[in-house]
Amino acid sequence: MDPRSGEMVAEFRSSTAKEVKEAVQRARVAQRGWGSSGNREVRVAAIEAMEKVFARERESMVDCIAREVGFPRSDIAASYNSALRGIAYYVERYRSMVDRDFPLDQTLWPNTEARIVFEPQGVIGHIGIWNFPFWQTMITAIPALLVGNAIVFKPSEQVTMTGLRIAELMHECGVPRDVYIPLIGGAYVGRQLVRSDCDMLAFTGGMAAGNWIANHAGVRPLLLELSGNDAAVVCGDADLEQAAMGIATGTFARAGQVCIRIKRVYVEESVAEAFIQGLVAVTQRINVKERIGPLIREEARQEVDRVVIEAVDQGSRLLLGGKRIPGPGFFYEPTILQVFDDRLEVIREETFGPVCSVRVVKDAGEAIDLANSSRYGLGATIWTQDMDNAQRIASRLEVGNVWINEWGRTLACGEYFQGCKRSGIASASERLMLFMKKKTVITHRTSEPRPSWHK
C-alpha cells in the first residue's frame, strides 16, 4: 500500500509454513559451500559487487522504497548510500581478521597451543522492518553473508516489493539463490521462521514481537534490535537555536517512525521557555508532505491520535499539531506536547509517530534520572556547549548510543548500533563477530601421554 495515497500497489501470496521449512533446509545445504574457508574470496567478490550493483539501481530502489513507505526520497537516498558505505568497511575488517592464539603457560601446558577460531553461525533467520527497509536489511546481510552464513529473509509485510528486489540484486551479485532466500508475509511467517531450526535469529522490530521471539526461540543466538524511547537532555548552556533545529529534525524524521528518534525532551527550566518557543517555530515551518511523510498505515495514525488525545485529557498542554491532516494518505500534524506527569503513556512508552513530549526539569541531574527511568535503552541526545559536562552526562545515561549536539547518525553500516535494557539483546561486539560462533581448538603436538592419564 502507498501510505501517501492509501492505494493498494501490489498483492502477494504469503509463504506457507512448509515453504519456510524448506527454505531453511535449502539454505542449510547451500551454506556448507558458501561458508567454507576456501570460499572466502568468492564471498568478498560478491559483497564488493553489491557496491556497484546497488549503486546502479539507486534510483529504482529509492522509488520502490518511497512507494512502500512514503518518506521523502532525499531521506531514503541518504540511508541507502550510508548502507553501501559499509561494504568497503566490512571487507577491510574481514580481511584483517585472524584467528586468535591464546597464550598458554608452557610449564603447565608443554608442547600445547590454543587457538580461538571463528566460524559462521550457519543459517540465519532474518526478520526485517519497514522504516529503514534497505539500511536495516543490509546491516545484517552484508556482515552475515561475508563471514559465510546463509540467510532466510522475511522482509516486513509493509515492504515486500523492496525485500524481493534486494534479494534479486543480491543474486545478481553472485550470492547463490539458496544462500539468500526471501520469504513473503507478516507475523505468521515470522513466527514460522522462529519455529524453524535455523541456527540464529536476527530481528528488528517492536518490543511485543521481540518478547514473543525471546520466549519461543529456544537456546540459540538471538540478535534483537527493538523499540526505543530516546530522551534528549537540553542543558542550560545549550545553543538553543541548534537544539531546536536538531530536536525538531530528530523527533519528526520519517513522521516519527524511527527507533532512535527523540521521543522525550527534558529541558532545564532556566532555558525552557526560549527552547520551547524555538522548537515550535522550527516545527511550524516543516513542510509535512515534502520533508517528513505519512504514517505507514491508518491504524498507526489512529494509534498516534489516541495517545495524543489521552495525554491532553490527562493534563498535557498541546503546543502544536494534534490532528490528522485531511485528504488522501495517512498524514498527521507534527505535534508538540508539554507534559507534567511522567506516568503518561506518551512519556513511558514508545510513540511511533510525529509526537514530541517536552518536560521541564530543574537541572541536568533530574533530566538524567528521568531519562534513565525508562525500560528502554536504545539512544539519547545531549544538547550543551560544555563538552566535559556532555561526557559526564553521556557516561550516566543507560543507553547503547549517545549523540552530543547531533542526532541519529550511525557508524558505517550500523557498526556497534545496539541498544541495551529492553531495547534489545546487546553485545558490545562488532557486527562481523555477531554472525560468527567461536571454537576453541587446543592442540598437543607430541604422542607423549600426560602424567595424569590412566595408564
Binding status of residue 416 toward ligand NAD by CB under 6 A: no
Reported as half-sphere exposure (CB side, CA atoms, 13 A), residue 282 has a value of: 21
Q: Residue 409 has which C-alpha cell?
A: 547518525
- Summary count for the chain: helices (H), strands (E): 15, 17
Q: Which of the ranges 15-23, 48-56, 164-172, 223-231 carries the binding residues for ligand NAD, by CB under 6 A?
A: 223-231
Q: Rounded distance, CA 244 to CA 383, Å?
A: 10
Query: Which residues on neighbouring strands pair with residue 396, listed in sequence order?
Result: none
Binding status of residue 121 toward ligand NAD by CB under 6 A: no
Active-site residue, selected from the candidate residues 57, 225, 268, 350: 225
Kindly tell me which residue out of 35, 122, 228, 294 binds ligand NAD, with binding defined by CB under 6 A.
228
> Which of 358, 210, 350 lies closest to 273, judged by CA?
358
State how beta strands 123-127 and 150-154 pair: parallel
Query: Of 43 and 191, which CB lies nearer to ligand NAD in the complex structure?
Result: 191
Q: Rounded distance, CA 228 to CA 408, Å?
A: 12
Active site residue 7: no
Q: Which of the ranges 93-101, 166-174, 219-227, 355-363 carries the binding residues for ligand NAD, by CB under 6 A?
A: 219-227
Reported as half-sphere exposure (CB side, CA atoms, 13 A), residue 128 has a value of: 32
Query: Of 240 and 304, which CB lies nearer to ligand NAD in the complex structure?
Result: 304
Q: Residue 233 has which C-alpha cell?
A: 537532555
Query: Of 318 and 411, which CB lies nearer to ligand NAD in the complex structure?
Result: 411
Binding status of residue 209 toward ligand NAD by CB under 6 A: yes
Binding status of residue 186 toward ligand NAD by CB under 6 A: yes
Size of the site for ligand NAD (CB under 6 A): 29
Residues 229-288 that bind ligand NAD (CB under 6 A): 259
Query: Of 110 and 186, which CB lies nearer to ligand NAD in the complex structure?
Result: 186
Query: Of 54 and 352, which CB lies nearer to ligand NAD in the complex structure?
Result: 352
Site string for ligand NAD, 368-397 (x = CB under 6 A): ----------x-------------------
Residue 296 beta carbon to ligand NAD: minimum distance, rounded to whole angstroms: 7
Q: Which residue is nearest to ligand NAD (CB)?
A: 190
Binding status of residue 163 toward ligand NAD by CB under 6 A: no
Active site residue 173: no
Query: Of 364 and 371, which CB lies nearer to ligand NAD in the complex structure?
Result: 371
Residue 297 beta carbon to ligand NAD: minimum distance, rounded to whole angstroms: 9
Q: Using the Cα atoms of residue 373, residue 378, residue 381 and residue 387 in order, give the sign of their dihedral.
A: positive
Binding status of residue 131 toward ligand NAD by CB under 6 A: yes
Q: Which of the ranges 123-131, 164-172, 231-239, 242-250 carries the binding residues for ligand NAD, by CB under 6 A?
A: 123-131
Residue 208 beta carbon to ligand NAD: minimum distance, rounded to whole angstroms: 6
Kindly tell me which residue out of 20, 91, 167, 213 binds ligand NAD, with binding defined by CB under 6 A.
213
Q: Which of the ranges 42-50, 86-94, 113-121, 151-159 carries the binding residues for ligand NAD, by CB under 6 A?
A: 151-159
The per-residue b/e assignment along 367-400, b for 16 or more CB within 10 angstroms, e otherwise, is bbebbeebebbbbbbbbbeeeeebeebbeebebb
Query: Which residues on neighbouring strands pair with residue 267, listed in sequence order?
Result: 234, 360
Residues 35-54 that bind ligand NAD (CB under 6 A): none
User: Which DSSP string do the residues of 277-339 spell out, in sequence order?
Assistant: HHHHHHHHT--IIIII---SSHHHHHHHHHHHHHHHHTT-EEEE--SBPPSSS--B--EEEE-
Neighbours of 281 (CB within 10 A): 14
Q: Rounded distance, CA 318 to CA 308, Å?
A: 9
Binding status of residue 201 toward ligand NAD by CB under 6 A: no
The per-residue b/e assignment along 238-247, b for 16 or more CB within 10 angstroms, e otherwise, is bebeebbebb
**Cβ-based neighbours of 91, under 8 Å, separated by 6 or more:** 44, 47, 48, 146
Q: Residue 419 has which C-alpha cell?
A: 541498544
Within 173-268, residue ranges assigned H as helices are 187-195, 207-216, 240-252
Site string for ligand NAD, 327-366 (x = CB under 6 A): -----------------------x-x--------------
Q: Which residues are catalytic?
A: 225, 259
Interface ranges with ligand NAD (CB under 6 A)? 127-129, 131, 136, 154, 156-157, 186-187, 190-191, 194, 204-206, 209, 212-213, 225-228, 259, 350, 352, 378, 419, 424
